[in-house]
Structure 1
């Protein structure tokens, strides 16, 4: 544990150092700073991962006093043979592309070009495995020439970057597990993954929400499954789900309209040993142009789906195109109309939820974050979706989370759980009173303790009714409540009865009589006083 904390501290210090370099060259809080930080971090990670894996393959490299020289001494054929033994999750890097090689060349003319060309060469060499694709089929490779973002002193900037990278090694952290990388990833992107006005899930889903979703979806062992998020953002939900299933037991598929989010998701997949899923990461509009399809051109279906999509977004430009014969089954409950005012308030989450239901296999499971108003809406598309989930017995449960669980929004949220094979009762949980409120920046945020997270998870998975917290109801019970999924509407109003003797009853009644008599007397005195004051006011008025 002490070593893990030390590694985490050192890794965060490297991130801070890289941000400091950007600030010194006028890029602090610049729109391009995150591109530089994330790509340089990834270059360092892939460089050290390559060395780590090579040392495991060839003991002579591990024992060598200088591993760079030992690798450079390989013949071309021997080096190629070594590369072939690497797993697909390890990027192929040539000796002249090592960070140590760039460090030795930092005083050469036009070093920025050397630095940029190194990144571009690595990206090209590894484009088949490490590229994100667009819905039009274009590849978004690993790296770009990052020095272009510096207006002057490009060589000095790249030298400063290399000098920060050379004194640190990731080799110690490759045995670390999910929780370590989750913390590092969150720290890495914390300044760059803001709400951005709520556009396409760019914000980071809190760990508590991701943990609850994953552990309620996967209460037991599964293997060889597909996982999907149609609004993946930076992928925190999928990382938690994959970790719960087992990274080697699942394949991830995503789509997100934001290139920024897709690049962050790729980084997250690399950190969490899910490189095999990178070719399934798609930058594109899921609602208007869903990408993942089978051989017959039909939308692909998945074993598990998780999502925290944008709740409201102006999609008026393509709203009418969605209202087509091809989409009738996918958007079974309807497409939100374009409001006369505030087009940005269009409830796009309703389309994502319908898309998720349509994209589930016959035995699939899903969990999605929705605004809490969804679970009680009395009419419209909201209710039509709930009605389908209940009538077709696909609803597994709903959890109302505490307010301010997202620091970036005060909107109350709930989690809807879907299980196409759920033939039993439904679990409804009101967790709105859990958590501790803390200050995060200018916002209030509610934080759940690990024990509170476990209470939600265990209650859901065991289907345990707890007074004023959870209920277990049938689909018929839900129908009788106008399809409401609010746990509070099902809580029993309890009256406590206490056995007392006749004498105790008489004494209590006499006590009540005395209290009432005192109150009546006080009331009469107040009325007399009011009457006197009114009489005085009338008399004073007549005098005038």
Structure 2
């Protein structure tokens, strides 16, 4: 089966689940995203389990009915088989199988069986598949009463039956040989209707293409046993792209986000991409007020090898502003905290706080970071942005900047740039790139306009950046002293050479041009003299009355 066919079949199953929600009055309901993602995840875990037991047990590899063969096993043999499964595989009891629910879908109060099955899977796999709140509470895989989102109690069993009927007609079996790009496509499709509002600290969804550019610039060569961090992770597009570039088995992901919805999407994303070992480091909480990832001594914040983030740009955090400006936060927010405006409190530049936090969280020797910022940050002449840029330049942390085309994110018209930082101190210069003229405007879902980069343009950005190439009106390599002379401006346009075109003229052509200029000036002077005389005449006519 081709990749295109697997993608099409997977998308069809997602559409079928959404249709069931619509038929039971849950289309566009606040609970729809939770229902769709949890049932999708249940199907994925069920099929992944069946796939892994076939890999683990030789006698099951050619079985026509794996579930029946498992049901025929003794309890002792079944327990032994569970011990052979990879740690990232959810452990399922025989009564957890989708086939078991399908065979019991006509039982009385089927919705209760459906809900209790998901809840028992959550509890059975609590240690591996849960994520945490800032206070340490475990957030389970599934809701305890998912079917109760259907308001009419007499329709809940029918709703669960309809969902199970959709699940049994599809299998993920052919998808497990697929790689990151496949699951990135499926994930984007799964959440496309639910990514419009990721909550207070995860404002914008990062396109896969931009995440890939950032990852390939940050990791031009392979690396091993490193940590990857995003303090405003959203659905995890950036950390997943970076982990893929590094190698999923070569890194551990750490994230925090204040949005419960974002963390649920992130968990799903990590599971789909074989990063279950990082789930224990996914935290639901306020990064600025209470960052949860501490060093081994538990006496300070953890420092990371790689940090990547697309933080929200402007958010009303006036309730916490004075707290964050207090003494206990001054080491982390060394450049200051934005003041609360008299009007439009939601315009507070919270990205400046995240940028300071990221710089503070980089490993002192060798830490690397890439942060999406509003392009205005690159040239702001005063205040916190300038202080941040001055420190970046003073400590020789700036590897480079890429200014992206407008509307690169469909959800915002704000012009954005990506600032790349590097604590290795191995760069004597920085590369500044203006990619704002690249891309093609397209309509997303017939509504929002987005600029899409072609594969050739993406390659040009990555190759030019990683090779520190200067190209006319596109990129420029500058040393730190020159940046300091330009008031620490990170805008490529301020460093491009102004070119004056020279044209060779013969003596006759030169004389003709000069005669033309002289004639034109004579005409202008004559018009000026006439106008001056007219004004004087008019002034003489003015009388006192």
Q: Give the SS at the match of 2:108.
A: coil
Counterpart selection for 1:351 from 350, 353, 378: 353
Structure 2 Cα separation of the partners of residues 83 and 515 of structure 1: 93
Please list, as runs of the form range in 1=range in 2, the aligned pairs for 1:269-418 lying within 5 A after superposition. 269-297=270-298, 298-361=300-363, 362-418=365-421
Structure 2 Cα separation of the partners of residues 435 and 64 of structure 1: 50
Please list, as runs of the form range in 1=range in 2, the aligned pairs for 1:443-454 lying within 5 A after superposition. 443-454=448-459
- The answer to whether the 8 A contact 1:369-1:415 is kept is yes
Matched, 1:148 2:153: no
**Gaps spanning 5+ residues in structure 2: where?**
none
Structure 1 Cα separation of the partners of residues 249 and 321 of structure 2: 39
**Superposition CA RMSD, Å:** 2.3
- The answer to whether the 8 A contact 2:204-2:409 is kept is no
- What is the Cα deviation at residue 323 of structure 1? 2.4
TM-score, L = length of structure 1: 0.94
Structure 1 range deviating more: 109-118 or 58-67: 58-67
Q: Give the SS at the match of 2:366.
A: strand
- The answer to whether the 8 A contact 2:50-2:67 is kept is no
Q: Give the aligned partner of residue 430 of structure 2.
A: 426
Counterpart selection for 1:504 from 493, 504, 509: 509
Structure 2 Cα separation of the partners of residues 65 and 4 of structure 1: 23
Structure 1 Cα separation of the partners of residues 522 and 59 of structure 2: 99
- The answer to whether the 8 A contact 2:204-2:310 is kept is no
In structure 2, relative to structure 1, the CA distance for the partners of 1:208 and 1:422 (3 Å cut) is farther
- What is the Cα deviation at residue 503 of structure 1? 3.0
C-alpha distance after superposition, 1:458-480 (max 9, x if no partner): 11111101111111111111110
C-alpha distance after superposition, 1:73-95 (max 9, x if no partner): 11111111111111111100111
Find runs of 4+ consecutive structure 1 residues off by over 3 angstroms.
507-521
Q: Give the aligned partner of residue 465 of structure 1.
A: 470
Q: Give the aligned partner of residue 116 of structure 1.
A: 115
C-alpha distance after superposition, 1:201-225 (max 9, x if no partner): 1531012321221111111111110
Structure 1 range deviating more: 373-382 or 317-326: 317-326
- The answer to whether the 8 A contact 2:288-2:353 is kept is yes
- What is the Cα deviation at residue 444 of structure 1? 2.0
**Gaps spanning 5+ residues in structure 1: where?**
540-544
- The answer to whether the 8 A contact 1:218-1:245 is kept is yes
Structure 1 range deviating more: 380-389 or 433-442: 433-442
- The answer to whether the 8 A contact 1:471-1:490 is kept is yes
Structure 2 Cα separation of the partners of residues 275 and 326 of structure 1: 34
Q: Give the aligned partner of residue 542 of structure 1.
A: none
Q: Give the aligned partner of residue 232 of structure 1.
A: 233
TM-score, L = length of structure 2: 0.94
- The answer to whether the 8 A contact 1:193-1:202 is kept is no
Structure 1 Cα separation of the partners of residues 484 and 32 of structure 2: 52
Q: Give the SS at the match of 2:352.
A: helix
Structure 2 Cα separation of the partners of residues 212 and 26 of structure 1: 41
C-alpha distance after superposition, 1:5-50 (max 9, x if no partner): 0100000000000000000000000000000000000000000001
Structure 1 Cα separation of the partners of residues 72 and 519 of structure 2: 103
- The answer to whether the 8 A contact 2:132-2:280 is kept is yes
Structure 1 Cα separation of the partners of residues 218 and 474 of structure 2: 20
Structure 1 Cα separation of the partners of residues 319 and 482 of structure 2: 41
Structure 1 Cα separation of the partners of residues 62 and 209 of structure 2: 43
- The answer to whether the 8 A contact 1:202-1:261 is kept is no
Structure 1 Cα separation of the partners of residues 172 and 203 of structure 2: 27
